[in-house]
Amino acid sequence: MEFEDLEPRKQPPKPRDLSTWGVEELNAYIANLNAEIERARAVIKSKQGHRAAADAFFKK
């Protein structure tokens, strides 16, 4: 048995209670989420570019 097996597993965060938020707060929250999604997509695109370059280099 490894020491890591004894550590508690990180629980995913609970969803936020949005029912008490106002319309402006919800729109800002959506805008922030969309910005984060675009940031993640940019990182994915960058990593795919690195992968394609590495694949091209090693196929020669």
Report whether pLDDT(12) > 60.
yes
In which band, very low, low, confident or very high, does the pLDDT at 60 lie, cut at 50, 70 and 90?
A: low
Phi-psi region of 9 (alpha: psi -120 to 50; beta: other; left: phi over 0): beta
- Round to whole Å and give the CA distance between 19 and 31: 18
Report whether pLDDT(1) > 70.
no
Mean predicted confidence (pLDDT) in 10-15: 87
